[in-house]
Structure 1
Amino acid sequence: MRATNRLSSQFVKTAPVGKHCDGAGLWLVKRDDGGAQWVQRVTVHGRRREMGLGGYPALGLANARKLSERWRNVASAGRDPVKEREAEERAARREDITLEILTADAFESRKAELKGDGTAGRWLSPLTLHVLPRLGRVPVTDLDQRDIRDTLAPIWHTKADTARKALNRLSIVLRHAAALGLDVDLQATEKAKALLGKSRHVPQNIPAMTWADVPGFYASLETPTLTHLALRLLILTGLRSAPLRNIRLDQIEGDLWTVPAEAMKGRKGATEAFRVPLSLEAQRIIDLARPHARNGFLFPSVRKGVISDATMSRLMERRGLEARPHGFRTSLRTWLAEATDAPHEVAEAMLAHVVDGGVVRAYRRTDYLEQRRALAERWADHVTGGAGQVVKLAGAG
């Protein structure tokens, strides 16, 4: 019997169910349902590989033999025909490996690590605003440091933090592409950073109100609107705007507000919820806000969701104030430093800052709740018109 070309066109048409060898690793596999498939078997580096060539009759005997010869030659050259064909298919679908497609794929892979599964859009926004409009259609395998430099140069000195985040996200996308087997330059972002040079941008701190001026501003928020009440609770608790605006009724129990871990920015590495002691004044503000509650949220928006950070900022802006809501955290921290003898770790805990490393935190299993409860009450006394005198604390424990 011949070593190759064993099958005839007539036999292929009427072949019974089973596997039929044409020679040189080419097989016709006839199925029970009447369909048939051409399969090529090769050996690469001592490893047996099997690849489908196509179905019969779409792929006839003559063309199946041509494909068989082609992939045998690839295997003879020491290359894996299966991987080589995959690479060719990717090259033929270059739109599937564009930066835009790979960015979306990388984002999907990281969603579980992001707050709220990344629904706020902050992870993607540096790329969608400043990178993808120019480079979105470029295949990641073609992306180099010059492309990245030219794209980020316009914001490198004016929006340094955004540009830095864009570089970071790009690096993640490129690593994701490499993990998929694409030939990308993993050093492209670092090379682009070297080409861009040192940023001239000088970071500006968020303007803050001096702690001595806070009582006057607090007193001016006398109308029980959602914006006034939210600002008052923000001042009293010292938390960031996001967890404050998203506070839910089921998070409040008596004089304690428990914020879910995923809602707390700046506590990377912390896996537990954060407990916020509520002063008597804070509890009073919450009670005033309860009639406004909707869908479980204490500070709902008129339309959908919760009130925005811009709502509180605009109120202060309309009053001609330079300070912004986030700055009240600075007001509180400065008061803690200048008007109390609170230990550093307790003062930092008041602002939900994570201090020390994971090992230290594992052994120091306290959130200083009782010390913070006393400080919260004294801070409330100050902002409501008290003297704000020096607070003496018991040992930090």
Structure 2
Amino acid sequence: MARGLNKLSALAVKNAPAGKYADGGGLWLHKRDDGGAQWVLRITIHGRRREMGLGSVSVVSLKEAREAADRYRALVRDNIDPIKDRERQKREAARNLHFLSDIALDAFESRKAELKGDGKAGRWFSPLELHIMPKLGKMPVAELDQKDIRDVLAPIWHDKAETARKALNRLSICLKHAAALGLEVDLQATEKARALLGKQRHKAQNIPAMPWLEVPAFYSGLSDGSVTHLALRLLILTGVRSRPLRHIREEQIDGDIWTIPADDMKGRKDATSDFRVPLSPEAMSVIEQARNHARDGYLFPSIRKGVISDMTMAMFMSRAGLEARPHGFRSSLRDWIAEATETPHDIAETVLGHVVGGSVERAYRRTDFIEQRRNLMVRWSQHVTGQNGQVVKMVKG
């Protein structure tokens, strides 16, 4: 034992009253009046005397305090400030933790260009933000395993099956992103978690749709000229999705053609051009009435600000005692095309804005069937307004 070192004993540390006690070599025990105690190492570096805390006695034993003191005294002999060196190590450790929340945000940033509107709506990130990050966000991604994932998704695995599926898929993307950054992660963790969670009981259900034969009666009831009634009428007549319908602007309409920006067309991620919608005379009449409500360029504004919400139209149908929902009118139109016309498949799918054919086929196709669709939508409007229901034969080309 070196002279002047290791003066204290474990019993002395435990029973000593309040005060300061030297163990030797600059290591001191500081005991407070409240019973608490901590280790302090006194050092002189670059001609300056400093005190370095080594931790509480309740956490750091006498042996551990002496070992730490030996390490730091060795640094001082090498003319290295142990306090600054410890702080540097802490900063480096923090940089290398790579919390899951940081990885997720970085993965989101790298994928924004692939998402509609650069992901500003938040749909890509929200499953992670709501169901993963609250419990796992501050966990180093390298420590994440299938049991952690299983435990956080188990509460919603069956009750919110689609949301849970999206959260799991997004998490898998985050792990691949971490691996691409050079971090050691378990790329199979999400699949292992899926196995632990088991098969989901939830079965995906189609959005309730109104039978096409019942659409005329519903349409005739939308007669008060309100924003909600007019929006539902144009939704039915055009077969578009709710978002582009609710965000329709005056400058998008040129004659009897409504041009929807490519960014608003769900399911057309590879589209490089906008989508044209032919407007029947009945649809043009609805638009003319909607212009009386226009605000800030939008034809269907909400009462306060922005545009009418999808929930507004859905609640209107719900209060009317209907199971069908606004999005279901796309199915009504598609069923009418299939059952009451002889429209070729490509034209029928294009009516709904669906991508048709493979990438090579689409590259050589130079038509969006606008004239065929114009004739078809006129016949649909005639059915919707109760004028006639004769079978129509559409010719492709």
Q: What is the TM-score of this pair, normalised by structure 1? A: 0.76
1:365 and 1:89 mapped to 2: Cα distance? 59
Query: Structure 2: any 5+ residue segments left out of the alignment?
Result: 1-74
1:176 and 1:304, CA in 2 relative to 1: closer, same or farther beyond 3 A? farther
CA distance in 1, matches of 2:94, 2:258: 56
Moved more, 273-282 or 382-391: 382-391
Bigger Rg, which one: 2
**Alpha-carbon distance, 1:63 to partner:** 3.6
SS where residue 193 of structure 1 aligns? helix
Q: Does 1:92 align with 2:94?
A: yes
Partner in structure 1 of residue 323 of structure 2 = 322
Equivalent residue number for residue 117 of structure 2: 116
Aligned to 1:42: none
Distance 1:230 1:60, change over 3 A: farther
Partner of 2:396: 396
Moved over 6 A (4+): none
User: 1:62 Cα deviation (Å)?
Assistant: 4.7
The 5 A counterparts of 1:366-377 are 366-377=367-378
Residue 325 of structure 1, CA deviation: 0.3
Contact 1:226 1:299 in 2 (8 A): yes
Question: Is it true that 1:232 corresponds to 2:253 in the alignment?
Answer: no
Cα distance in 2 for residues equivalent to 1:173 and 1:88: 25
> What's the offset of the Cα at 1:64?
6.1
Q: State the partner residue of 2:204.
A: 203
- Say which SS state the counterpart of residue 300 (structure 2) adopts: coil
Q: 1:129 to 1:321 in 2, by over 3 A?
A: same
The letter for the 2-side match of 1:341 is: E
Comparing 236-245 with 267-276, which one deviates more in the overlay? Answer: 267-276
Stretch deviating more after TM superposition (370-379 or 107-116): 107-116
Shift in CA distance, 214/65, structure 1 to aligned 2, threshold 3 Å: closer
Using the alignment, how far apart are the partners of 1:60 and 1:270 within structure 2? 65
Whole-Å separation in 2 of the counterparts to 1:296 and 1:182: 49
Deviates more, 1:127-136 or 1:204-213: 127-136
Q: Which residue of 1 aligns with 2:184?
A: 183
* Cα drift, residue 387 of structure 1: 2.0
In the alignment, the residues of structure 2 paired with residue 187 and residue 90 of structure 1 have an alpha-carbon distance, to the nearest angstrom, of 28
**Residues 128-137 or 340-349, more deviating:** 128-137
Pairs within 5 Å for 1:129-208: 129-208=130-209
Looking at structure 2, the residues matched to 329 and 276 of structure 1 have their Cα atoms a distance apart, in angstroms, of 14
In structure 2, the residue corresponding to 1:271 is in which secondary structure? coil
**Alignment partner of 1:258: what SS?**
strand
Amino acid aligned to 2:274: A
SS of structure 1 residue aligned to 2:224:
coil
Look up the equivalent residue of 1:127 and give its one-letter code. L
Task: Provide the rounded CA distance (Å) in 2 between the counterparts of 1:172 and 1:378.
Answer: 46
Aligned pair in 2 of structure 1 residues 205, 87: CA closer, same or farther (>3 Å)? Answer: farther
Superimposed CA distance per residue, residues 97-152 of structure 1 (whole angstroms, 9 cap, x where no aligned partner): 22222222221222222111212111111112221122122121111111111111
Which segments of 5 or more consecutive residues in structure 1 lack a partner in the other structure?
A: 1-58, 71-85
Partner of 1:362: 363
Deviation at 1:197, TM superposition (A): 2.1
Aligned equivalents of 2:256 and 2:95: distance in 1?
60
C-alpha separation in 2, matches of 1:216 and 1:353: 28
> In structure 1, how many angstroms separate the alpha carbons of the residues matched to 2:100 and 2:299?
41
Looking at structure 1, the residues matched to 92 and 304 of structure 2 have their Cα atoms a distance apart, in angstroms, of: 46
Distance change >3 Å, CA 89–CA 316, structure 1 → 2: same
Structure 1, residues 287-319: CA drift from partner, whole Å, max 9, x if none? 111122122211122222211100000000001
Closer/same/farther in 2, CA of residues 357 and 65 from structure 1, 3 Å limit:
same
Using the TM superposition, give the Cα deviation of residue 285 of structure 1 relative to its aligned residue in structure 2, in angstroms.
Answer: 0.6
Look up the SS of the partner of 2:248 in the other structure.
coil
The sequence identity of aligned pairs, in percent, is 66
Contact 1:90–1:97 (Cα < 8 Å) also in 2: no
After superposition, the Cα gap between the structure-2 partners of 1:90 and 1:319, relative to the gap in structure 1 and judged at 3 Å, is farther
Aligned mates of 1:90, 1:330 — CA distance in 2: 57
Once the two structures are TM-superposed, the CA of residue 268 in structure 1 deviates from its matched residue by 2.7
Question: Per-residue deviation at 1:244?
Answer: 0.7
How far apart in 1 are the matches of 2:186 and 2:266?
32
Distance in 2 of aligned mates of 1:242 and 1:388: 29
| Partner Cα separation in structure 2 for residue 157 and residue 321 of structure 1 | 27
- Output one character per residue of 1:59-109: Cα deviation in whole Å (capped at 9) or x when no partner: 99954699xxx9xxxxxxxxxxxxxxx998553346x62222222222122
How is 1:251-290 mapped onto 2 (pairs within 5 angstroms)?
251-290=252-291
Cα distance in 2, alignment partners of residues 304 and 173 from structure 1: 36
| Count of aligned residue pairs for this structure pair | 321
Q: 2:200 corresponds to which letter in structure 1? A: S
> Structure 1 120/87 Cα, relative in aligned 2: closer, same or farther at 3 Å?
farther
CA distance in 2, matches of 1:303, 1:151: 38
The 3 A distance-change label for structure 1 pair 90 and 246 is farther
Distance 2:221 2:143 in 1: 58
Amino acid at match of 2:119: G
Q: Is the 8 A contact 1:281 1:380 kept in 2?
A: yes
Give the letter aligned to residue 107 of structure 1. F
**TM (normalized to structure 2)?**
0.76
1:292 partner SS: coil
Please tell me the residue identity of whatever aligns with 1:248. R
Which residue number in structure 2 is paired with residue 347 of structure 1?
348
CA distance in 1, matches of 2:130, 2:352: 31
**TM superposition shift of 1:252:** 0.7
Determine the structure 2 residue equivalent to 1:300. 301
Task: Note if contact 1:350-1:372 (Cα within 8 Å) is conserved in structure 2.
Answer: yes
